[in-house]
Structure 1
Amino acid sequence: MKEALIDKTTGWRGTRDIWIRAAYEALLENGIDAVKVMPLAERLGLSRTSFYGHFSDRNDLLNALVTHWQARNTGNLVRRTEDYAETITEAVLNVFDLWLRPDLFDSRLEFAVRNWAHTDAELAGLLEEADRVRIEALQAMFERFSYEAAYANIRANTVYQTQIGYISMKKDGPEEPLAPRLKRMPHYAEIFTGRTATEAEIARFLARHSLPEGTG
């Protein structure tokens, strides 16, 4: 109640980030058709006119969502492929961190953007470009560890398409417990690379994603 009073008495218009967050949540919950100014204003308890203090129009807000997706999912994936690793298995396990940490790679947002792209030709082009950039980054990672380009490309596509397929399959299914996913990932690393991760590499990977005591 106090926040609502402040809104009314000071004319607070929210912030750009608050509007983007509301749009993000609406997109995840109900798709792109739910990302409209008036419903978002009602969701936030703000006036419609306050929106235009931060955005020129709805398309401006949609562009901000796309920029957020590009920075989080594509930007973080590329950076993760470039992280220090002594072996290709360690490098792949570094990439697997993305699939386990939404702050690095937002799978729900990825699914929502891919659905959105079915009805937006411009976004479909950006998505195609994102796929290309991500696969090229993964391929470069394999090539850094002396895989021939053709094999590196195949392995990069296998890593990437496996995860994108997993995201599509799990969107409306039950949330899979973390423990069994963690146990499988060293085996996936072996399949993707043709090499076995060392016990030390697996231990470091599992330590980064340790479960609270008594779970799993």
Structure 2
Amino acid sequence: MTDALIDKTSGWRGTREIWIRAAYEALLENGIDAVKVMPLADRLGLSRTSFYGHFSDRKELLNALVTHWQARNTGNLVRRTEDYAETISEAVLNLFDLWLRPDLFDSRLEFAVRNWAHTDESLAGMLEEADRVRIEALQAMFERFAYDPNYANIRASTIYQTQIGYISMKKDGPDEPLAPRLRRMPYYAEIFTGQKATEAEIARFLARHPLPKMTGSQGVDP
């Protein structure tokens, strides 16, 4: 979601995007109970009336958050499973980009939505459907490389449940340096696929995720 600069002028009512952004931030910080019109208006320095210039009610705002979650997390995951790859190892490394780029897969939002679903039956149903769609997409990725459907389903489920479990343990995102995470990913890919990625495949993956430059004793591990 693009950050919006708030440039207030006389009579300014904000924009739909700014209200959604404020709701998104409130959801991540304090959960769904914090996503209410007056607290958001106070956060933005706008009036309650301004909100209704963009949304009919709070439910419409919540629906916008759900739509954003579906598009970013489910939509991008499905598209990434369909990306071109010459081998299953390359396909899985392509998938791993999601776990390293919040613009592709927002782990903090995923955590917040899963918590929200505990108190919203309708959202719980949408979450269950999202899980189904994502696992089916992962299974189809394995089947594209001639894996038996039963094994493809188990491998898909293992990848998915591993990452969702990781997200559930890391509310505020990874708390470990990037370098060791990147080092482990080729091993994860080998475990998930049963095949070892080539040096060229690993090199292409690492090139997409350059480490920040360090000086002195802060260099990456040897």
Write the distance in 1 (CA, Å) between the matches of 2:200 and 2:7.
51
For 1:94-113, list aligned pairs within 5 A.
94-113=94-113
Distance 1:208 1:197, change over 3 A: same
Q: Which residue of 1 aligns with 2:132?
A: 132
How far did residue 212 of structure 1 move? 2.0
How far did residue 166 of structure 1 move? 0.4
1:193 partner amino acid: T
Q: Which residue of 1 aligns with 2:3?
A: none
Q: Which residue of 2 aligns with 1:36?
A: 36
Q: Secondary structure at the match of 2:164?
A: helix
How far did residue 172 of structure 1 move? 5.6
User: Is residue 143 of structure 1 aligned with residue 143 of structure 2?
Assistant: yes
Q: Which residue of 1 aligns with 2:209?
A: 209
User: Is residue 123 of structure 1 aligned with residue 127 of structure 2?
Assistant: no
1:133-171 Cα distance to aligned partner (Å, 9 max, x none): 000000000000000000000000000000000001111
How far did residue 46 of structure 1 move? 0.6
Greater Cα offset, 96-105 or 164-173: 164-173
Write the distance in 2 (CA, Å) between the matches of 1:178 and 1:29.
24
Distance 1:174 1:103, change over 3 A: closer
Identical counterparts, % of pairs: 86
Q: Which residue of 2 aligns with 1:91?
A: 91
Number of residue pairs the alignment of both structures matches: 211
For 1:15-54, list aligned pairs within 5 A.
15-54=15-54
Distance 1:71 1:147, change over 3 A: same
Write the distance in 2 (CA, Å) between the matches of 1:204 and 1:117.
37
Distance 1:15 1:146, change over 3 A: same
Write the distance in 2 (CA, Å) between the matches of 1:156 and 1:74.
15
Distance 1:3 1:78, change over 3 A: closer
Write the distance in 2 (CA, Å) between the matches of 1:172 and 1:145.
35
Contact 2:108 2:172 in 1 (8 A): no
Distance 1:173 1:133, change over 3 A: closer
Distance 1:15 1:173, change over 3 A: closer
1:117-148 Cα distance to aligned partner (Å, 9 max, x none): 00000000000000000000000000000000
TM-score when normalising by structure 2:
0.93
Write the distance in 2 (CA, Å) between the matches of 1:127 and 1:55.
24
How far did residue 181 of structure 1 move? 0.5
When the two chains are superposed, the root-mean-square deviation of aligned CA atoms in Å is: 1.3
How far did residue 3 of structure 1 move? 4.1
User: Is residue 171 of structure 1 aligned with residue 165 of structure 2?
Assistant: no
Q: Secondary structure at the match of 1:196?
A: coil
Write the distance in 2 (CA, Å) between the matches of 1:45 and 1:173.
29
Write the distance in 1 (CA, Å) between the matches of 2:193 and 2:129.
25
Runs of 5+ consecutive residues of structure 2 not aligned to the other structure: 1-5
Q: Which residue of 2 aligns with 1:192?
A: 192
How far did residue 109 of structure 1 move? 0.1
TM-score when normalising by structure 1:
0.95
Write the distance in 2 (CA, Å) between the matches of 1:81 and 1:58.
34
How far did residue 75 of structure 1 move? 0.1
Write the distance in 1 (CA, Å) between the matches of 2:140 and 2:123.
25
Contact 2:90 2:197 in 1 (8 A): yes
